[in-house]
Each structure stands twice: as structure tokens, then as C-alpha cells.
């Protein structure tokens, strides 16, 4: 979620599996992410399951990672999640333009149009 893509994605399933087994984990320098976040991702995706973050003491090991230092785990269910400010990327048209002209029976076309956003 931090980078918007999976680190080992290939052109097909076979290539993805090959990338998981053989490709080194890299982080795009164009997206600024904290050292703690990169360390967490690296720990969770360690190739050797015995050395993966959480493999020795389970979820508590993950919860104690510095990335989660501001999380009060016992009160997590009572907390309000932070708002995500994701800018809406428009394709050059007003988002509501032409929607009033779409017939109600053209639901698939409407869904395809909305998926552009």
C-alpha cells in the first residue's frame, strides 16, 4: 500500500513466482518511505520463513516493530483511524459529466466509466 504495487509482480503468474524465489527486494527511490517502513516490509517478506518477522514470537514480534511505535495495541479497537488524503486524479473530464445521460440499464458501462477514477 505504501508503494502502490507488489514488489515481485511479474507479467504472469509463473514470472511472479520466479520473482518471489529469485528477485531481490528493492524499494523505489522515487517514493519517500521511512526506514522503519522499509525494514518492516523487508522483515515480512524475508525469503526464509524461519527468519521472517513474526516467525519466532508471532504477532507480538510484528507489533513491537518500530514502524508501529505510535500504536497503542490494547486500545486499537477504540481508536479512530487516520484520514487518508488521496488526491483524486481526473482524466480531463468533470467526474459527474455525462453521468446524467447514462441510461439506468447501462449499469456495466457506468461501472466501467467510474473505474477510471
Q: Domain boundaries in the chain?
A: 13-78, 87-117
Q: Which residues of the chain have pLDDT under 70?
A: 87-117
Say what the pTM is.
0.64
Q: How many CB atoms lie within 10 A of CB 40?
A: 19
Helix (H, G, I), strand (E, B) or coil at 64: coil
The pLDDT of residue 90: 60
The pLDDT of residue 92: 58
Within 29-78, residue ranges assigned H as helices are 35-44, 59-63
Q: Euclidean distance between the first and final Cα of the chain, in Å?
A: 17
The pLDDT of residue 72: 92
CA-CA distance, 3 to 45, in Å (whole number)? Answer: 15
The pLDDT of residue 28: 86
CA-CA distance, 107 to 10, in Å (whole number)? Answer: 32
CA-CA distance, 85 to 52, in Å (whole number)? Answer: 31
Amino acid at each position: 500500500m505504501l508503494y502502490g504495487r507488489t514488489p515481485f509482480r511479474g507479467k504472469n503468474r509463473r514470472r511472479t513466482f520466479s520473482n518471489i524465489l529469485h528477485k531481490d527486494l528493492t524499494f523505489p527511490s522515487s517514493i519517500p518511505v521511512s526506514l522503519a517502513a522499509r525494514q518492516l516490509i523487508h522483515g515480512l517478506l524475508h525469503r526464509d520463513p524461519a527468519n521472517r518477522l513474526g516467525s519466532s514470537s508471532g504477532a507480538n514480534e510484528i507489533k513491537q516493530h518500530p514502524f508501529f511505535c505510535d500504536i497503542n495495541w490494547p486500545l486499537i479497537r477504540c481508536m479512530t483511524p487516520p484520514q487518508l488524503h488521496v488526491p483524486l486524479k481526473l482524466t480531463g473530464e468533470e467526474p459527474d459529466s455525462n453521468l446524467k445521460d447514462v441510461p439506468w440499464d447501462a449499469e456495466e458501462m457506468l461501472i466501467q466509466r467510474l473505474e477510471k477514477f
